[in-house]
Amino acid sequence: MSDLFKKPAVVVLCVLTLVGVGAWVYQLMNGLGVTGMSNGTSWGAYITMFMLFVGLSAGGLIVASSASVFHIEKFKAVALPAVILSTVCICVAGMFVLIDLGGVQRVWRIVTGPNPTSPLLWDICVITIYLVLNILYLVFMKKHGVESRQVSIVSRFALPAAILVHSVTAWIFGLQLAKDWYSAIMAPIFVASAMDSGLALLLVVLIALNAAGWFAFSRDLMKSLSGLLATCIAVDAFFIGCEVLTMAYPGAAASEALGIMLTGATAPFFWFEVIGGLVVPFCVLVFEKNRGNAKLVVASSVLVILGVACKRVWLLFTSFVTPNVYGAPGIASGSSAAAHATGIDMWAVTSAYMPTWVELVVIVGVLSLGVVFFMVMAQKLLDVPTKGAAKGAVAKGAQEKPEVAAATEGAAA
């Protein structure tokens, strides 16, 4: 594992992680006022990333647990890297929640003053259970194998937990009557986007691991997973179409939000998700020939992930554009700029948000830490040989069978 941290790319990731920690400490010292959030937009980039990574995590675990629950033999081959990816993503999602709290010491209030009717409390409980299931999954798969009885038992809990973790996240929004998120199909929309984004990330990671020689990923399995991805994209598009139709129907209360989403501030994110994240990837992956092309699969998968990220943006911020308090003077901005304002300058009648450098640096730091964490876990759990071990295997093979040693040396190179 020591060889891993000697790689230039990993060194850069570690440096970015440290810079992100520094930005987070700066935020702790100066408060959430250093972010772009305010009273009008109380959730920002951190919650956006939280929503994204909960979905990325759920998609990976659904694939892994389905392999055992429904006895899909070909999917069992990727169960271990899928669970590793799921574990890393849920840890990253949890970090964004803690960062958004403004101070980790506030977690104590969840224990001392829980509100059983709050979906936020439900989400914390489900995520904790979900993380425990991921850890048990990894332990049992590594110790007893994918075909073991222990893994089969855990998978029966992991599958509903993976669906529930994103459903509860959706209910945080869907149960709020005061915002345009209010929707009965918010949970299915979130689960569908979790499936396509999580599966897309898994495909990208598996192809990268295969190219690095860390994990064997067959072309036939890639075609099967890509076909499943195309199906998930179609389902996701159907749910979004249902939601837009409901909002656009004459007399619908959400028509104002729809106008913002289609032609307003969040329109670029909506249209990129529809065209770049749904239409284009589906048109590529619907053809069997394209599903066997690794470059096209990676490009389509990246578009799906970016599209779901854009969905999180337009879904979150469209409802913040118009505050619930109408008329002058509006609501107190609550931003860092408003703290030094006078008169009516501290009041706002519309909401505006732009991530500050602090938020962007913290996000880059968390993502860098997640990549390093995944690489460490993958090298350890997938039994990736270190540089020294690979050379030792080559030397040992040379004494036994020269032609085998030559082939091994070529693979190691």
Residue-wise pLDDT for 164-175, tens only, equals 888 888 888 888
Task: State yes or no: cis peptide before 329, omega within 30 of 0.
Answer: yes
The C-alpha angle 259, 335, 308, rounded to 5 degrees, equals 45
3-state secondary structure the chain: CCCHHHCHHHHHHHHHHHHHHHHHHHHHHHCHHHCCCCCCCCCCHHHHHHHHHHHHHHHHHHHHHHHHHCCCHHHHCCHHHHHHHHHHHHHHHHHHHHHHCCCHHHHHHHHHCCCCCCHHHHHHHHHHHHHHHHHHHHHHHHHHCCCCHHHHHHHHHHHHHHHHHHHHHHHHHHCCCCCCCCCCCHHHHHHHHHHHHHHHHHHHHHHHHHHHCCCCCCHHHHHHHHHHHHHHHHHHHHHHHHHHHHHHCCCCCCHHHHHHHHHCCCHHHHHHHHHHHHHHHHHHHCCHHHHCCHHHHHHHHHHHHHHHHHHHHHHHHHCCCCCCCCCCCCEECCCCCHHHCCHHHHEECCCCCCCCHHHHHHHHHHHHHHHHHHHHHHHHHCCCCCHHHHHHHHHHHHHHCHHHHHHHHHHHC
Mean pLDDT of 262-272: 91
25 pLDDT higher than 80: yes
Residue 337 pLDDT > 70, yes or no?
no
pLDDT-based confidence at 251, cuts 50/70/90? low
Distance CA 284, CA 383 (A): 34
pLDDT more than 70, % of the chain: 86
> Quick one: which of 20, 17, 21, 46 has its CA closest to 32?
46
Q: Helices 294-318 and 255-263 sit at what angle, rounded to 10 degrees?
A: 140
Closest Cα to residue 392, out of 408, 376, 372, 381?
408
79-88, 179-188, 289-298: which range is least confident on average?
A: 179-188
Which of the pair, 77 or 350, is modelled with greater confidence?
77
Whether pLDDT at 390 is above 50: no
What interhelical angle do 79-100 and 357-381 show, nearest 10?
A: 150
Q: Is the pLDDT of residue 407 over 60?
A: no
Report pLDDT for 159.
86
Band (pLDDT 50/70/90 cuts) for residue 394 is very low
Band (pLDDT 50/70/90 cuts) for residue 398 is very low
Instruction: Report pLDDT for 393.
Output: 39
Q: What angle do CA 124, 127, 129 make, to 5 degrees?
A: 110
pLDDT of residue 114: 82
Average pLDDT over all residues of the chain: 84
Amino acid 309: pLDDT? 96
Q: Is a pLDDT exceeding 50 seen at residue 308? A: yes
The pLDDT score that the predictor gives to residue 115 is 84
- What are the structure tokens assigned to 95, written together? 């970090």
> Where does the pLDDT of residue 387 fall: very low under 50, low under 70, confident under 90, or very high at 90 and above?
low
pLDDT for the residue 395: 40
- The pLDDT of residue 340: 63
What pLDDT is recorded for position 252? 58
Confidence (pTM): 0.86
User: Does 403 have pLDDT greater than 60?
Assistant: no
Residue with tokens 């295969």: 210
Tell me the mean pLDDT in the region 2-28.
91
Over residues 36-57, the mean pLDDT reads: 90
pLDDT at 397: 41
**Mean pLDDT throughout 319-336?**
71
List Cβ neighbours of 3 (8 Å cut-off, separation of 6 or more).
Answer: 386, 387, 388
Expressed in angstroms, the distance from the first to the final Cα of the chain is: 18
User: Are the beta carbons of 64 and 137 closer than 8 angstroms?
Assistant: yes
Measured CA to CA, the distance from residue 277 to residue 240 in angstroms comes to 12
Better pLDDT: 246 or 272? 272
Nearest CA to 321 out of 348, 346, 352, 356 is that of: 352
Looking up tokens 């997973």 gives 225
Residues 6+ apart with CB under 8 A from 250: none
Please return the burial class of 245, using the count of CB atoms within 10 Å of its CB with bins 0-12, 13-18 and 19+. Answer: exposed
pLDDT tens readout for residues 71-127: 888 888 888 999 999 999 999 999 999 899 887 777 787 778 888 888 888 888 888
